[in-house]
């Protein structure tokens, strides 16, 4: 039986995912993905209804939404499609593949009988995506910092998939990397990788030594009073998903450069990241569709 997929919205990752599925021989439909030199075998749908009628498997953009109301689309594309419009077109014949879905979104889809596939929690995807995130972050850190990494100490918040990938990539380049992580096993793993796990009690001595702070935890970790202890030239990079680890007015309040960097793989490695999404969905649906 021929497999099919409809890919909607998003950035260039969606386009390269479409090319990957076409290469596999899947019937591939795109709707409002960025302009791209599509292969002639990829069908460009004229409407949302047309798009979802072509396939049972629907690939949503990553992330699903940026503002909570509309499908994610790069700012360069002046188009809006509300999530409510998408929900209205989905039914029990469909499976929605998304990076992640919150509880409310899952409840809405469940009420419509639509099945879901969240590839952002799949081990194969998270491991590979973390490497792409670390590589893109390195480019951004070099771009924005006016000093060499070899002269800088870093404080890394969190040592999950992304944190560990960042630690491995940055360790040979930085003067030293301190890690704030509560999990004892992750602390031990970081120590074996020559990072320096610290506790909250250590921060008054550690923070003044750090010129780079990288956060991977999607929740507040450091109090404003702690941020005031950072080195006067410290640059803060926040790659956590919403609600991130620091408020948007961090620069104004703390007088420190603060950069929110969502969607790094889509901006720095769209080919690899798009193919990764394709390969992940291929694996997850191998015995389902």
Range of the domain at 142: 131-266
Single out the residue in 80, 97, 121 at which a domain terminates.
Answer: 121
Flag whether 163 is in a domain.
yes
Q: How many domains does the chain have?
A: 2
Residues 21 and 140 grouped into a single domain: no
DSSP summary character for residue 209: G
Neighbours of 240 (CB within 10 A): 21
Dist. CA 79–CA 74, nearest whole Å: 9
pLDDT at 288: 57
Flag whether 288 is in a domain.
no
pTM of the model: 0.90
CATH classification at residue 103: 3.40.50.720
Q: Examine the pLDDT at 289 and tell me if it is beyond 60.
A: no
Q: Which of 9, 71, 16 is nearest to 45 (CA)?
A: 9
Tens digits of per-residue pLDDT, 126-153?
999 999 999 999 999 999 999 999 999 9
Residues 141 and 249 grouped into a single domain: yes
Tens digits of per-residue pLDDT, 177-203?
999 999 999 999 999 999 999 999 999
Residues 141 and 259 grouped into a single domain: yes
Question: What's the angle, vertex CA 169, arms to CA 168 and CA 174, rounded to 5?
Answer: 100
Flag whether 202 is in a domain.
yes
């Amino acid at each position: 039986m021929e497999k099919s997929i409809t890919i909607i919205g998003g950035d260039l990752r969606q386009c390269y995912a479409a090319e990957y599925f076409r290469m596999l021989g899947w019937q591939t439909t795109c709707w409002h993905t960025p302009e791209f030199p599509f292969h002639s075998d990829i069908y460009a749908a004229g409407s949302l209804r047309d798009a979802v009628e072509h396939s049972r498997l629907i690939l949503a953009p990553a992330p699903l939404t940026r503002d909570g109301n509309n499908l994610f689309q790069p700012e360069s594309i002046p188009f809006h499609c509300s999530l409510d419009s998408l929900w209205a077109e989905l039914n029990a014949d469909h499976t929605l593949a998304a990076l992640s879905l919150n509880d409310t979104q899952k409840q809405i889809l469940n009420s419509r009988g639509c099945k879901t596939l969240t590839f952002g929690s799949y081990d194969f995807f998270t491991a590979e995506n973390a490497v792409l995130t670390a590589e893109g972050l390195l480019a951004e850190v070099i771009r924005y910092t006016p000093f060499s990494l070899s002269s800088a100490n870093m404080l890394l918040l969190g040592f999950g998939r992304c944190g560990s990938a960042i630690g491995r990539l940055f360790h040979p380049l930085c003067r030293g990397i301190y890690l704030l992580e509560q999990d004892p096993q992750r602390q031990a793993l970081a120590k074996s990788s020559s990072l320096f796990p610290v506790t909250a009690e250590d921060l008054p001595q550690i923070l003044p030594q750090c010129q780079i702070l990288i956060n991977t935890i999607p929740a507040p970790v450091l109090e404003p009073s702690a941020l005031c202890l950072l080195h006067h030239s410290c640059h803060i990079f926040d790659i956590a998903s919403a609600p991130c680890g620091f408020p948007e007015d961090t620069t104004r309040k703390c007088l420190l450069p603060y950069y929110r960097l969502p969607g790094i793989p889509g901006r720095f490695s769209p080919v690899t990241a798009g193919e990764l999404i394709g390969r992940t969905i291929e694996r997850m649906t191998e015995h389902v569709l």
